[in-house]
Structure 1
Amino acid sequence: MKPGTSTQSALPKLVTCPTCGGDSVYAPSNPFRPFCSERCKNIDLGAWASEDFRMPTTGLPEDQKTDDEQ
């Protein structure tokens, strides 16, 4: 490799923390990745546990009945 040539692997990859929006190092040196800290990781886990994250639903089609409706 020529002197002065940088490799991309030498630079730590920075990603946006999903919780706080700050910079987070995405490397083995950060045990909380993709989060920036243990606090952000626990906030996200708490949101999942309390079912704050949900998939949107549109409901059942009108022609499809459930077992309760028969």
Structure 2
Amino acid sequence: MNKVTTVPCPQCKTPVVWSEKSIYRPFCSKQCQLIDFGEWAEEENSIPGAPDMSDSDGWSEDEY
């Protein structure tokens, strides 16, 4: 017996069956997929990590 895996759509929380038939998985639809993509493109979403320290000390290679 195969167990059906479902996940909530990251955008609207509708249950999505995780299978090859769900072409937009983990999203429930193309609309939710595009909304999510737009949020990443507008930098409304981000993955937390270490802060960018490249210019934090004010040092620049051009100065030396």
TM-score, normalised to structure 1, is 0.65
Where in structure 2 are the equivalents of 1:4-43 lying within 5 Å?
Answer: 7=1, 9=2, 11-43=3-35
The residue type equivalent to 1:30 in the other structure is S
Aligned residues: 59
Structure 2: gaps (5+ residues): none
The Cα RMSD (Å) is: 2.5
Larger radius of gyration: 1
**Identity, % of aligned positions:** 31
Secondary structure at 1:35's aligned position in 2? coil
Output one character per residue of 1:5-58: Cα deviation in whole Å (capped at 9) or x when no partner: xx1x2x432110000011111100011000011110010000000000124578
Structure 1: gaps (5+ residues): 1-6
